[in-house]
Amino acid sequence: MASGLVNNRPEKILTIQAARGFAAIFVVFAHTAFTIAKDKYLGFDPFNGFWNFGYSGVPFFFVISGFVIFFSHWSDAGNVGRLWNYVKKRLLRIYPLYWVTLLFVAPPILLKDSGAEDVHGFGLLLSSILLVHISSAATILTVAWTLYHEILFYLFYCCVVINKRFGVVILFSWFMGCLLSLLFNFLDSIFFKFYFSPLNVIFFWGHCFFIWIPSLFIFLRSAFCQGPSYF
């Protein structure tokens, strides 16, 4: 039922754009409150924890991302000729601005002996550039940790674009693996802790909204606009 509405969908959903903007503002306020509460600044939170709820904007972003990917690219599913278009859109949305930021942030961090894990290593630099964890969970720009999950989700969705049936099985299996990590303590390694993090399941919630909202819309339209026989 969702596909019927997808074909006539608008380019952007303004409500989601507005919600994304508010969520970003709340996350910034939460980070700001946390930072100025450190001993080297004020040493206390002048907002008395008021902006702590702003951290909920992170999982909200994941839900929106899950919804937007299925909303924008479900029509690309099973069409390998659309793969480059999908990849290009996703890469341009994240990497250019991130790389510019990284260009200014990376040099002082790499030159400073901070004692962080693999701080001078090539693996850390490559991982931070690609937004893909390679040998550890260390990253140069720590506030960009959510982007690692975004890129991982984008990569899995590539399977759906290449082959719809096979890709859906792969994507759903990944979601289930991440969900099972809540119940079972997998091996103590970065591979399982990140690649099967329960946070990745939140993208699936966005997919659920993609299915339920059009279905609910169609049901309500048929119930109240067309006068169904069961009333």
Grade residue 130 by pLDDT with cuts at 50, 70 and 90: very high
Return the residue matching tokens 């409500």: 15
Grade residue 181 by pLDDT with cuts at 50, 70 and 90: confident
d(CA 144, CA 133): 12
Write out pLDDT tens, residues 196-226. Answer: 998 999 998 888 877 666 555 554 555 555 4
* Chain length of the chain: 231
Beta carbons of 127 and 135 less than 8 angstroms apart:
yes
Beta carbons of 106 and 100 less than 8 angstroms apart:
no
* Nearest in space to 142 (alpha carbons), one of 39, 4, 35: 35
DSSP letters for 102-140: HHHHHHHHHHS----TTTT-HHHHHHHHHT---S-S--S
Q: For the residues 177-197, what does the mean pLDDT come to?
A: 78
Please say if the pLDDT value at position 2 is more than 80: no
Here the contacts of 129-134 (C-beta below 8 Å, separation 24 or greater) are: 129/99, 129/102, 131/94, 131/95, 131/98, 133/190, 133/194, 133/195
Average pLDDT of the chain?
80
Beta carbons of 42 and 182 less than 8 angstroms apart:
no
Grade residue 231 by pLDDT with cuts at 50, 70 and 90: very low
pTM of the predicted protein model: 0.80
Share of the chain above pLDDT 90, in %: 32
Among 11-15, 168-172, 199-203, 223-227, the minimum mean pLDDT is found in: 223-227
32: which residues sit within 8 A by CB, 6+ positions away? 51
